[in-house]
Every structure is written in C-alpha cells, then in structure tokens.
Amino acid sequence: MSMVRDLIAAVIAAERNLDDQMMKLNSYQKSNEDLMRQITMELDGSVHSSSINMKEQLSQTQEQLRQTIGLLETAKTKLQRVRQI
C-alpha cells in the first residue's frame, strides 16, 4: 500500500510541476505577444528582410509556445487519469 501512496504522491508532484511550467510559459507567451505587437507597430510597412524575419520568428515562437502549453495540458490530464485509477 505504501508503494501506491508513493506513486500517487509522485503523480501529484508531477501535476504541480506541470502547473508551474504552464504558468511560466503562459507568462512568457503574454510577454512575447506584447513584444510582437510593439515590434509590429514599429516595423509596420517595412520591407527590410530583417524586419520581416524578426516578425516571422516571433510568430513561430508564439505558435511553438501554444503547442508546448497544449502538450503540457495533455500530460497533466493523463496524470490526473493515472491518479484516479
């Protein structure tokens, strides 16, 4: 029975860790969105390749953040299912 309690404690700890990571990533994503908005306003209409590249890189970062947060949410859901078994 002790092994089961240890497993449940480990699952709960992993869930808390995922929550912490998602909170950090959500904060970073918000900062990145603000930065992207500011850069877009500053570079609006620019045809320089470096300006276009910067906006594309920020956009890709946003998409990768969304995907990562989604994967972490999926992992947390699976951990919650394990805990309910």
Q: Kindly list the domain boundaries of the chain, sorted by start residue.
A: 2-84
The Cα 77–Cα 52 span in angstroms is: 38
Residue-wise pLDDT for 14-36, tens only, equals: 999 999 999 999 999 999 899 88
**Stretch 60-67: mean pLDDT, rounded?**
94
How much is the pLDDT for 58? 87
Whole-structure pTM value: 0.79
The Cα 1–Cα 4 span in angstroms is: 5
- Candidate from 50-54, 63-67, 68-72 with smallest mean pLDDT: 50-54
Residue 67 pLDDT > 90:
yes
**Stretch 42-50: mean pLDDT, rounded?**
81
